[in-house]
Amino acid sequence: MGKKFWLGFIVSCVLLVILQYVYHAFILSGFYLTHTPGFRPEEYCNRFMFWIYVAMALHAFIWTYLYNRYVPVKNLRSGAEFGVILMIFFYVPTGFYNYSLYIMSGYVYLWCLVGGLVMGAVIGGVMGTLMKAKAAAAA
pLDDT for res 109:
79
What is residue 27's predicted lDDT score, i.e. its pLDDT? 82
Q: pLDDT digits over 84-133, tens only?
A: 999 898 888 887 887 777 777 777 778 888 888 999 999 999 999 988 87
C-beta separation of 8 from 67 below 8 A: yes
Length of the chain: 139
Q: Confirm whether 81 is domain-assigned.
A: yes
Distance CA 13, CA 57 (A): 6
Indicate the pTM of the whole model: 0.79
Report if residue 47 sits inside a domain: no
Query: Is residue 43 situated within a structural domain?
Result: no
| Cα distance between residue 31 and residue 105, in whole Å | 10
More confident residue, 79 or 91: 79
C-beta of residue 127 within 8 angstroms of C-beta of residue 67: yes
Query: Is 94 among the domain residues?
Result: yes
Out of 17-26, 32-41, 82-91, least confident range:
32-41
- Report the number of distinct structural domains present in the chain: 1
Predicted confidence band at 38 (pLDDT cuts at 50, 70, 90)?
low
pLDDT at 13 over 80: yes
Instruction: Determine contact, residues 56/11, Cβ cutoff 8 Å.
Output: no
Percent of the chain with pLDDT over 90: 35
Query: Domain for residue 91, yes or no?
Result: yes
> What is the pLDDT, as a whole number, of residue 135?
60
The domain in which residue 29 lies consists of 3-8+20-37+52-131
| 96, part of any domain | yes
Mean pLDDT of the chain: 85
